[in-house]
Structure 1
């Protein structure tokens, strides 16, 4: 295994290199970037979500590919292209400092049926295969707590055995269980992380807990959208000077951090008066009446949607299901002050995505992109311990990144496939719920 830190090696300091498998829109990508990694390649088989990643990370190469069949050579080539996009001055030495990602977890989820025979369960072994072939200095696998349950526990044991045979040591024998609400995210969301390192790398420590903001701290500076008829069909608002001033004067420290650089990520060039993801949802008067009557934290008896508590944390934001499992839309929480469900931007705020980060303009796609993502600040908490274990330089980049084309946010599945040169016939079949 190559080691750029071998005795006698002389090279200019550089940010450690990482690759995101099962990247989706890029929650983990952003968290690892905030911790000091250069995420030079992102791999996902959903072209709609990958197009969103390309828009928000134009300095990373987006590769639309099935992780189950991808080769180390293909990933190496993608990193080389990402190296060029990142405008590195030197040549890449071939070392991958960290491979990270969250394989599909629906087969393990305690919210579903916990089917041990779900084909998606095998994606964790696809990740292990890539680790074995790519030989990164470290890896991070994210998944749901259901991975620890007896019904699917044998998958975890087999996975850990494969990783150990490949020559890696695990940070802890059992996966690290973290709640996003303990790591700067205003949302209760428990996730497990399997962290491993190669010989010569320190074992990472468990991330230390930090204070998280409340729902009100996350949302209350956002401009009122009620009465703005343009937002019935558009998800984009050009804010007036008074709206911008209101955000500046009324925002919490958390909200301000989502509009500025909060870590070691690349600064993005974006028009701060533009706010995306705020298309309105119109409810029937009877629904508005029910929502208005709900107490904080209570659930609506018909929609089963919970009302947010401004002084607490959001419940876990769900993604719903994809085309291959019925295209179900997950319920959105009800705003803590207003009788309506939250917008895409409000969901992004509760997930710790910054305001420059945009999602697909279709709500169904956007909410899946958020619900499937690891909250960036939770990912950053884990990534920070990996940077420390790698003894890598923590470098604040001076380059300002210009975001990709907004057209990347408007793709349907078919046009996104065309963008990445994918045969539409190879896309996941659309299995709709049968109707009587």
Structure 2
């Protein structure tokens, strides 16, 4: 990297994307976040950055002072586009991608990066929205590409697919260039076991027990080929494959949607894999589904573990209630993935 680039962070949340951009060498000068607890978290970890709390529309006038900042990045709330939600184009949160472009129009950065759910980048349902976004970006002077990335391809122990709309002002910018730069950072992810086991058992000093939602057996389990899919337990929280990577951590964690850990197997790889064996016995018809509470060796993912799976630094400070912190973590862009995208954009700017 030959230059220090400045950036504005929009819809900053707890600051996961900001960690990645800072680690890539970007100097963030201004940020905005609506949620109080996420704002408290952001300020606790990024005290040097000017953070404007509240609706971004109320701060647009101030952004004229930052015209010419090099990069804008951020992930507008995605519930309106998410297949896990109502997929409502009239959802107020769906309209924030246009507010994002309002900021681009004011600042006129060299580049911008907008992150959102995969559906916005791929589903036919959102083709008109996608095309209009690219058209508006083009009218503002940018070449923009929607690129779907899976965080597990870049060292994050989580299968999390998201679309990144990456745009630069220069005509020399093309899809092959940016893809090549992103792919140069591909690397295997650590397993869940290697990511979290050093924290110690849930309930100890470095790993407080933060979710006490009971784990109970489903009387009519929904079976899948994998023991880590389907629904063998009540609620949407599924067991994690300790020797693999996690599925996408949802913002709805904190109760019975929180993923499940086999603690005995976590700290002793030679122990029996209880989840695997229970699944096998059910599939083969060796046993009937159990009733009541699951064995005590099964418990919910903690906040500290969830943060590491999202690739937050281990010393990252979170503010708010437990449910709010789980939500902040689930809503975040994995820090390592954000860093990869930032490095690719920086390299492209350097070459230009």
State the TM bucket, normalised to the shorter chain. Answer: 0.7 to 0.9
Shift of 1:289: 12
Shift of 1:136: 0.6
1:161 to 135, 152, 164: 135
Instruction: Report the Cα distance in structure 1 between the residues aligned to 2:261 and 2:238, rounded to whole angstroms.
Output: 9
Instruction: Report the Cα distance in structure 2 between the residues aligned to 1:224 and 1:190, rounded to whole angstroms.
Output: 29
Higher relative strand content: 2
Instruction: Report the Cα distance in structure 2 between the residues aligned to 1:281 and 1:330, rounded to whole angstroms.
Output: 9
Superposition RMSD on alpha carbons, in Å? 2.7
Shift of 1:21: 0.2
2:148 to 148, 168, 177: 177
Conservation of the 8 A alpha-carbon contact between 2:9 and 2:72: yes
List structure 1 runs of 4+ shifted beyond 6 angstroms. none
Instruction: Report the Cα distance in structure 2 between the residues aligned to 1:135 and 1:45, rounded to whole angstroms.
Output: 23
Shift of 1:36: 1.0
Instruction: Report the Cα distance in structure 2 between the residues aligned to 1:125 and 1:176, rounded to whole angstroms.
Output: 19
2:260 aligns with 334
Aligned length: 305
Q: Which runs of 5+ in 1 are unaligned?
A: 1-12, 80-93, 229-236, 238-274, 322-327, 393-436
Greater CA deviation, 119-128 or 199-208? 199-208
Conservation of the 8 A alpha-carbon contact between 1:309 and 1:336: no
1:217 aligns with 194
The TM-score, its normalising length taken from structure 2, stands at 0.80
Instruction: Report the Cα distance in structure 1 between the residues aligned to 2:57 and 2:92, rounded to whole angstroms.
Output: 11
Q: Measured at CA, do residues 201 and 390 of structure 1 come closer, stay the same or move farther in structure 2, by a change above 3 Å?
A: farther
1:240-288 superposed Cα distances (whole Å, 9 cap, x missing partner): xxxxxxxxxxxxxxxxxxxxxxxxxxxxxxxxxxx4x73443355x749
Conservation of the 8 A alpha-carbon contact between 2:240 and 2:259: yes
Q: Which runs of 5+ in 2 are unaligned?
A: 264-296
Greater CA deviation, 297-306 or 136-145? 297-306
Instruction: Report the Cα distance in structure 2 between the residues aligned to 1:116 and 1:192, rounded to whole angstroms.
Output: 17
Secondary structure, aligned partner of 1:220: helix
Greater CA deviation, 338-347 or 356-365? 356-365
1:192 aligns with 163
Secondary structure, aligned partner of 2:178: coil
Structure 1 segment 103-252 matched on structure 2, within 5 A? 103-147=76-120, 148-170=122-144, 172=145, 175-199=146-170, 202-203=173-174, 205-206=178-179, 207-208=182-183, 209-226=186-203, 237=205
Instruction: Report the Cα distance in structure 1 between the residues aligned to 2:302 and 2:218, rounded to whole angstroms.
Output: 19
Greater CA deviation, 144-153 or 328-337? 328-337
2:28 to 20, 39, 42: 39
1:74 aligns with 62
Shift of 1:212: 1.0
The TM-score, its normalising length taken from structure 1, stands at 0.65
